[in-house]
């Protein structure tokens, strides 16, 4: 018996050692980044990372000397609209794929899936030409319209909708709800966790997108935060690394917020008690 | 003013026949139980009445109106699902109000109906809870309240108590029965449990092999089963079916062993005889006169069940008084009273009082 216990303890120690190691590898760069954002640029350039001259100056500089607020605003608008568009269109198409019967349903779904196989970079040139022809360049819609929907979102919600107990839909059928009411009152609330997940995913995706926005925006009026960060570096003759680091930290904050808020909803068991 | 099923059939695309020529009349306000073993198509029949499954052939009419192509909502019925189908994101109160709101009743009426329904199933105190915070029995009550709150005159129930433990099931059975009587609704109840069927039903439909075996009151079904299957399905322990041969006009020899004198004349030479366990007479016997061996004895309190094997290997079960004492592997002599059921070779009931029988 003692032998088994010992082996278990050793196994646990090894597991925790591995976890701590991974945590260090992942978290240390992150903390270095946050830490340096409080240091004066002079200290950073000298490699004096353990300086005690910590202050919020970099943050104040970032907000007062650069258009970072404008970038943040642009990004919030683009990311929020993209998120809601994804939630609306993906859930509607997923509902159709799960609950409606129509001809060639499988074929159309396969078509959806095929678009997932295509890397988005491959479509950049035609997309750019389309956006240009529509006169949307350097405008919010250049970033929003091409990503109003996502095949992945449809796929993910379809999988989730398929798990909705069919009795719930039948109960609603008997009560005389039409498809839109079933969609709104039964399917969406039942799958709210998947919707929150997709929402977070879409928001972060839009927040972190870089390549497409850098192609279609060229003024501060529409530039988003990731491109703005790049802009900070090249606009100045002298790179104020402390301030850039502070801006980078500001950019990460929403990501962390979304994760923390999301975590609250990822508790299991919210749908318990529906059937059986 | 009743629900009529006329030659209802269901076939799936693969050619598998689930139901064949189901014909029945379900009277308004009665407790109608559809019973049968798993896979006999009883749930399918219920879903076809509800309109959730299309019928392949035949006709269903409710109150004189053919509803074959009517969507479920226009059939004016409610359904309690086996799995209850509660909305996990709504409180108990909202779950009960769901259908009423969807049907656009006005606010005050919805409130009155929901509150009355919750009162009727004793859930008033739990109305703000979510289904996940309820026990199995309480969830089932919510599902019942939903049916009660509706103004539909027909309520369909698909094995509503199959997920409950034995004691709760008996309690719910009584509650459902009382509710049905109080509300005067037509209740069509699907179950695989013959005890549930016997205790609650006004009429029972026995389904087996995609066909209606018999429709009748519980007493008719028990006393004059249409065939061997129905006889075997009702009664615990099940009826003993043994082979018998005619020895004279009014006497048969059962299991090539003991003789039973009958009140009727028999025509078939070879037949099957159904003997309820309480009609068997079990006596202790010495090795020479014994015809069976005790295999097991179950003590039920007021009686005992003796499971025995005849010398030729056929198994029987018999009910004996609880003070009778039998040991395992003891030699016994089994005989029978003449209160038996006779079936021909095809399993059709040929017992004399057959004219009372209401057959499908």
**pLDDT, tens digit, for every residue of B38-97?**
888 898 999 999 999 889 889 999 988 899 989 988 888 999 998 888 999 999 999 999
Nearest residue of B to residue A170 by CA position? B52
List the domain boundaries for chain A: 1-66+241-257, 67-235
From chain A, pick out residues whose CB is under 8 angstroms from the CB of B50. Answer: 170, 174
Phi-psi region of A60 (alpha: psi -120 to 50; beta: other; left: phi over 0): alpha
Instruction: Label residue B360 by pLDDT band (50, 70, 90).
Output: very low
- CA dist B329 to A159, A222, B176, B295, B349, Å? 59, 93, 45, 6, 34
Reported as a single tens digit per residue, the pLDDT across B195-234 is 889 999 999 999 998 899 999 999 999 999 999 999 999 9
Residues 6+ apart with CB under 8 A from A113: A151, A155
Residue A202, Cβ neighbours under 10 Å: how many? 23
- How many domains is chain B built from? 2
Preferred mutation among A163, A167, A171, A183 to probe B, highest tally of B CBs within 10 A:
A171
User: Could you tell me what percent of chain A has a pLDDT over 70?
Assistant: 93
Q: Which of B77, B87, B139 sits opposite A186 (nearest CB)?
A: B87
With an 8 Å Cβ cutoff, are A274 and B88 in contact? Answer: yes
From chain A, pick out residues whose CB is under 8 angstroms from the CB of B82. Answer: 167
* CA distance linking residue A191 with residue A99, whole number of Å: 14
* CA distance linking residue A69 with residue A39, whole number of Å: 21
Same domain, B216 and B266: no
Reported as a single tens digit per residue, the pLDDT across B134-179 is 988 889 889 989 988 888 889 999 988 887 888 888 888 888 899 8
Q: Which of A175, A189, A273 sits opposite B139 (nearest CB)?
A: A273
From chain A, pick out residues whose CB is under 8 angstroms from the CB of B89. Answer: 189-190, 192, 270-271
Q: What is the CATH number of the domain that holds B322?
A: 2.40.50.140
Same domain, B250 and B327: yes
With an 8 Å Cβ cutoff, are A274 and B85 in contact? Answer: yes
Residue B199, Cβ neighbours under 10 Å: how many? 14
Give the count of alpha carbons within 13 A of A108, CB side only: 12
Cβ–Cβ under 8 Å, residues B309 and B315: yes
Query: What pLDDT score was predicted for residue A221?
Result: 86
* CA distance linking residue B267 with residue B248, whole number of Å: 10
**Structure tokens of B185?**
């609704």
| Three-state secondary structure readout of chain B | CEEEEEEEEEECCCCCEEEEEEEEEEECCCEEEEECCCCCCHHHHHHHHHCCCCCCEEEEEECCEECCCCCHHHHCEEEECCCCCCCCCCCHHHHHHHHHHHCCCCHHHHHHHHHHHHHHCCCHHHCCCCHHHCCHHHHHHHHHHHHHHCCCCEEEEECCCCCCCHHHHHHHHHHHHHHHHHHCCEEEEEECCHHHHHHHCCEEEEEECCEEEEEECHHHHHHCCCEHHHHHHCCCCCCEEEEEEEEECCEEEECCCEEEECCCCCCCCEEEEEECHHHEEEEECCCCCCCEEEEEEEECCCEEEEEEEECCCCEEEEEEECCCCCCCCCEEEEEECCCCEEECCCCEECCHHHHHCCCC
With an 8 Å Cβ cutoff, are A174 and B79 in contact? Answer: yes
Instruction: Label residue A236 by pLDDT band (50, 70, 90).
Output: low
Query: What pLDDT score was predicted for residue B262?
Result: 87
The residues in A 129-168 lying below 8 A from B, measured between CB atoms, are 165, 167-168
With an 8 Å Cβ cutoff, are B132 and A270 in contact? Answer: yes
Same domain, B317 and B180: no
Residues 6+ apart with CB under 8 A from A275: A165, A167, A168, B81, B83, B84, B85, B86
Residue B152, Cβ neighbours under 10 Å: how many? 19
Residue B328, Cβ neighbours under 10 Å: how many? 10
Q: Which helix (H) or strand (E) holds A188?
A: helix A188-190
From chain B, pick out residues whose CB is under 8 angstroms from the CB of A187. Answer: none
With an 8 Å Cβ cutoff, are B132 and A174 in contact? Answer: no
Residues 6+ apart with CB under 8 A from A204: A255, A258
- Closest by CA position to B26, among listed B149, B159, B185: B185
Nearest residue of B to residue A190 by CA position? B89
pTM of the full predicted structure? 0.80
A118 in helix, strand or coil?
Answer: coil
With an 8 Å Cβ cutoff, are A274 and B87 in contact? Answer: yes
Cβ–Cβ under 8 Å, residues B153 and B184: no
Same domain, B349 and B330: yes
pLDDT over threshold 50, residue A215: yes
A262 vs A1 pLDDT, higher one: A262
Cβ–Cβ under 8 Å, residues B342 and B271: yes
With an 8 Å Cβ cutoff, are B71 and A273 in contact? Answer: no
With an 8 Å Cβ cutoff, are B88 and A192 in contact? Answer: no
Q: What is the CATH number of the domain that holds B191?
A: 3.40.50.300
Query: What pLDDT score was predicted for residue A270?
Result: 59
Same domain, B39 and B156: yes
Query: What pLDDT score was predicted for residue A105?
Result: 92
**Structure tokens of B299?**
């003590």
The question of ipTM being above 0.95 is answered as no
Reported as a single tens digit per residue, the pLDDT across A109-144 is 999 899 888 888 888 999 999 999 999 899 899 999
With an 8 Å Cβ cutoff, are A276 and B85 in contact? Answer: no
What's the average model confidence in pLDDT over B15-34? 90
Q: Which of B78, B84, B88 sits opposite A271 (nearest CB)?
A: B88
With an 8 Å Cβ cutoff, are A276 and B84 in contact? Answer: yes
Same domain, B62 and B19: yes
**Structure tokens of B308?**
């025995």
Instruction: Label residue B357 by pLDDT band (50, 70, 90).
Output: very low
- CA dist A233 to A46, A228, A240, A243, B90, Å? 19, 9, 8, 10, 52
From chain A, pick out residues whose CB is under 8 angstroms from the CB of B78. Answer: 174
With an 8 Å Cβ cutoff, are A190 and B134 in contact? Answer: no
Lowest mean pLDDT among A22-31, A253-262, B76-85, B305-314: A253-262
With an 8 Å Cβ cutoff, are A167 and B85 in contact? Answer: yes
* CA distance linking residue B339 with residue B276, whole number of Å: 9
Same domain, B241 and B196: no
Q: Which of B84, B103, B132 sits opposite A269 (nearest CB)?
A: B132
Query: What pLDDT score was predicted for residue A268?
Result: 53
* CA distance linking residue A162 with residue A96, whole number of Å: 11
Instruction: Kindly give the residue spans of alpha helices, DSSP state H, lying in A211-265.
Output: 211-216, 225-235, 241-265
Query: What pLDDT score was predicted for residue A272?
Result: 63
Same domain, B21 and B169: yes
**Structure tokens of B282?**
């079990």
Same domain, B76 and B142: yes
Q: Which of B85, B130, B139 sits opposite A171 (nearest CB)?
A: B85
- What's the start-to-end Cα distance of chain B, in Å? 20
Give residue for tokens 């069940």: B305
Q: Which of A173, A185, A273 sits opposite B132 (nearest CB)?
A: A273
Same domain, B221 and B277: no
With an 8 Å Cβ cutoff, are A172 and B102 in contact? Answer: yes
Q: Which of B73, B90, B134 sits opposite A174 (nearest CB)?
A: B73
Same domain, B77 and B165: yes
With an 8 Å Cβ cutoff, are A170 and B79 in contact? Answer: yes
- Closest by CA position to B185, among listed B11, B351, B31: B31
Residue that is last in its domain, among B206, B232, B258: B232
Q: Which of B72, B83, B98 sits opposite A165 (nearest CB)?
A: B83
* CA distance linking residue B58 with residue B256, whole number of Å: 46
* CA distance linking residue A87 with residue A153, whole number of Å: 8
Same domain, B192 and B226: yes
**Structure tokens of B259?**
């003789």
Nearest residue of B to residue A271 by CA position? B88
Preferred mutation among A174, A181, A191, A194 to probe B, highest tally of B CBs within 10 A:
A174
Using a 10 angstrom Cβ sphere, with 0-12 exposed, 13-18 middle and 19 or more buried, the burial of residue B163 is middle
- Closest by CA position to A173, among listed B43, B3, B102, B156: B102
Residues 6+ apart with CB under 8 A from A76: none
Residue that is last in its domain, among B202, B232, B262: B232
Residue A11, Cβ neighbours under 10 Å: how many? 10
What's the average model confidence in pLDDT over A81-104? 94
Residue B94, Cβ neighbours under 10 Å: how many? 15
* CA distance linking residue A167 with residue A165, whole number of Å: 5
- Closest by CA position to A207, among listed A74, A88, A115: A74
Query: Quick one: fold of A67-235?
Result: MetI-like fold (1.10.3720)
From chain A, pick out residues whose CB is under 8 angstroms from the CB of B102. Answer: 172, 175-177, 181, 185
A53 vs B63 pLDDT, higher one: B63
**Structure tokens of A217?**
């925006």
Nearest residue of A to residue B131 by CA position? A273
- Closest by CA position to A75, among listed A232, A254, A258, A248: A254
Range of the domain at B167: 2-232
B154 - beta bridge partners?
B77, B186
Greatest mean pLDDT among A38-42, A269-273, B310-314 = B310-314
Nearest residue of A to residue B135 by CA position? A273
Residue that is last in its domain, among B163, B198, B232: B232
């Amino acid at each position: 018996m003692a032998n088994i216990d010992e082996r278990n303890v050793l196994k646990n120690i090894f597991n925790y050692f591995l976890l701590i190691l991974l945590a260090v590898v992942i978290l240390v760069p992150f903390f270095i980044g946050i830490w340096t954002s409080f240091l004066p640029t002079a200290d950073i350039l000298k490699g004096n990372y353990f300086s005690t001259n910590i202050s919020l100056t970099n943050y104040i500089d970032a907000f007062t000397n650069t258009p970072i607020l404008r970038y943040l605003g642009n990004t919030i608008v683009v990311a929020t609209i993209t998120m809601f568009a994804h939630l609306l269109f993906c859930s509607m198409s997923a509902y159709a794929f799960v609950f409606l019967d129509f001809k060639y349903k499988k074929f159309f779904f396969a078509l959806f899936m095929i678009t997932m196989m295509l890397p988005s970079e491959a479509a950049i040139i035609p997309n750019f030409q389309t956006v240009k022809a529509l006169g949307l360049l350097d405008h919010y819609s250049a970033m929003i319209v091409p990503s109003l929907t996502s095949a992945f979102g449809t796929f993910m919600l379809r999988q989730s909708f398929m798990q909705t107990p069919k009795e719930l839909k039948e109960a609603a059928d008997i009560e005389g709800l039409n498809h839109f009411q079933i969609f709104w009152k039964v399917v969406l609330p039942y799958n709210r966790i998947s919707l929150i997940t997709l929402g977070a995913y879409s928001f972060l995706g839009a927040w972190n997108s870089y390549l497409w926005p850098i192609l279609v925006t060229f003024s501060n009026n529409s530039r988003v935060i990731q491109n703005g960060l790049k802009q900070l570096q090249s606009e100045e003759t002298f790179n104020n690394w402390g301030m850039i680091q502070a801006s980078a930290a500001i950019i990460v904050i929403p990501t962390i917020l979304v994760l923390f808020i999301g975590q609250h909803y990822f508790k299991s068991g919210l749908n318990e008690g529906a059937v059986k | 003013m009743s629900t009529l099923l006329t030659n209802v059939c269901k076939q799936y695309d693969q050619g598998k026949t689930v139901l064949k020529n189901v014909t029945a009349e379900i009277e308004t306000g009665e407790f109608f139980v559809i019973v049968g073993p798993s896979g006999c198509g009883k749930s399918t029949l219920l879903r076809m009445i509800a309109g959730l499954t299309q019928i392949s052939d035949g006709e269903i009419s409710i109150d004189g109106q053919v509803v074959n192509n009517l969507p479920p909502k226009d059939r004016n019925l409610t359904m309690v699902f086996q799995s209850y189908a509660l909305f996990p994101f709504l409180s108990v109160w909202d779950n009960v109000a769901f259908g009423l709101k969807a049907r656009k009743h006005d606010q005050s009426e919805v409130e009155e109906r929901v509150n009355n329904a919750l009162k009727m199933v004793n859930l008033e105190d739990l109305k703000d809870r979510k289904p996940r915070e309820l026990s199995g029995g309480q969830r089932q009550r919510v599902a019942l309240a939903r049916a009660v709150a509706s103004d539909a005159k027909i309520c369909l129930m698909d094995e509503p108590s199959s997920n409950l433990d034995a004691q709760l099931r008996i309690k719910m059975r009584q509650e459902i029965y009382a509710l049905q009587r109080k509300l005067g609704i037509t209740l069509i109840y699907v179950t695989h449990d013959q005890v549930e069927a016997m205790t609650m039903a006004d009429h029972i439909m026995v389904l087996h092999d995609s066909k209606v075996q018999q429709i009748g009151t519980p007493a008719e079904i028990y006393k004059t089963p249409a065939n061997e299957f129905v006889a075997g399905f009702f009664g615990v322990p099940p009826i003993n079916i043994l082979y018998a041969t005619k020895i004279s006009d009014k006497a048969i020899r059962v299991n090539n062993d003991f003789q039973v004198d009958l009140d009727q004349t028999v025509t078939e030479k070879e037949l099957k005889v159904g003997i309820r366990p309480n009609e068997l007479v079990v006596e202790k016997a010495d090795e020479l006169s014994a015809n069976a061996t005790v295999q097991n004895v179950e003590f039920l309190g007021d009686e005992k069940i003796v499971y025995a094997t005849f010398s030729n290997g056929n198994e029987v079960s018999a009910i004996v008084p609880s003070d009778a004492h039998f040991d395992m592997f003891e030699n016994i002599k089994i005989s029978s009273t003449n209160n038996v059921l006779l079936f021909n070779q095809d399993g059709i009931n040929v017992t004399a009082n057959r004219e009372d029988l209401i057959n499908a």
